[in-house]
Structure 1
Amino acid sequence: MDILLDNLPILIPFIVVQVAFGLIALIHVLRHPYYRFGNKIMWAFVVMLVNIFGPIIYFVFGRGEDQ
C-alpha cells in the first residue's frame, strides 16, 4: 500500500487522461450512428471495458464517416 501512495502523484495524470479519453470516446459512440463495423452497444463495451486501448481502437477502426 505504501508503494501506491508513494507513486500516486505520478499515477494521477495517467488516470485523468484515461478517464477523459474514455468519456470522450463514449460520448462520440452515443452521438454518432455510423460505424465502419459493429454497432453502438459493441463499441460502448469496447470503449469502457478495454481501458486506455478501447478508445484508441474505436477512433482508429470503429468511427465511421458522418453522413
Structure 2
Amino acid sequence: MANINWALLAPILVIELILVIVVLVDIIRIEKTNGPKWLWVLLSLFFNPIGPILYFVIGRSKS
C-alpha cells in the first residue's frame, strides 16, 4: 500500500466521483429510463466506472 502513487491516482478517483454524481442527478431528474431506476443506481454505485458509462449508453431513454 505504501508504493501507491496518489498523485497519479487522485485525478482518476475525482473523475469517477464526478461521473457517479452526474449519473445520480440525471437518474433523479429524468422521468423514464430503459429499465428500473433502482437498478441503474446500483450499477452506477457498485460497478464504477462501467455502470455510469452503461447508463449513458443504453440506460438513458431517448424520449
Check conservation: 1:43, 1:58, Cα contact below 8 A: yes
Say yes or no: does 1:61 pair with 2:58.
yes
Give 1 or 2: higher helix fraction.
1
Measured on the aligned residues, the alpha-carbon RMSD in Å equals 1.0
Which protein shows a greater Rg? 1
Distance 1:41 1:24 in 2: 16
**Number of equivalences:** 63
The unaligned stretches of length 5 or more in structure 2 are: none
Deviation of 1:17 after TM superposition, in Å, equals: 0.3
The unaligned stretches of length 5 or more in structure 1 are: none
Sequence identity (%): 30
When normalised by structure 1's length, the TM-score is: 0.86
